[in-house]
Chains A and B, each alone.
Chain A
Amino acid sequence: AQSVAQPEDQVNVAEGNPLTVKCTYSVSGNPYLFWYVQYPNRGLQFLLKYITGDNLVKGSYGFEAEFNKSQTSFHLKKPSALVSDSALYFCAVRDIGKDDKIIFGKGTRLHILP
Chain B
Amino acid sequence: DTEVTQTPKHLVMGMTNKKSLKCEQHMGHRAMYWYKQKAKKPPELMFVYSYEKLSINESVPSRFSPECPNSSLLNLHLHALQPEDSALYLCASSRGQGGNTIYFGEGSWLTVV
Chain A residues with CB under 8 Å of chain B are: 32, 34, 36, 42-46, 49, 51, 88, 90, 94, 96, 99-102, 104-107, 109
In the complex, which residues 1-39 of chain B have their Cβ closer than 8 Å to any Cβ of chain A?
2, 4, 6
List 28 A–B pairs whose Cβ atoms lie within 8 Å, in order of A's numbering.
A32-B99, A34-B101, A42-B107, A43-B90, A43-B104, A43-B105, A43-B106, A43-B107, A44-B90, A44-B92, A46-B102, A46-B103, A51-B99, A88-B40, A94-B98, A94-B99, A96-B98, A96-B99, A99-B48, A99-B56, A100-B97, A100-B98, A101-B97, A102-B102, A104-B43, A106-B41, A107-B40, A107-B41
User: Nearest 9 A-B pairs (CB), nearest first?
Assistant: A104-B42, A43-B104, A100-B98, A32-B99, A44-B104, A43-B106, A94-B99, A43-B107, A99-B56
Q: When each residue 41-81 of chain B gets 1 if its CB lies under 8 Å from chain A and 0 otherwise, what string results? A: 11101001000000110000000000000000000000000
On whether the beta carbons of B104 and A45 are closer than 8 Å, the reply is: yes
Minimum distance in angstroms from B92 CB to a CB of chain A: 8
Contact size range, B: 20 to 34
Chain B residues with CB under 8 Å of chain A are: 2, 4, 6, 40-43, 45, 48, 55-56, 90, 92, 97-99, 101-107
Interface of B is mostly: loop
Minimum distance in angstroms from B63 CB to a CB of chain A: 22
Closest to A32 in B: B99
Minimum distance in angstroms from A7 CB to a CB of chain B: 15
Minimum distance in angstroms from A75 CB to a CB of chain B: 18
Cβ–Cβ < 8 Å partners of B97 in chain A: 100-101
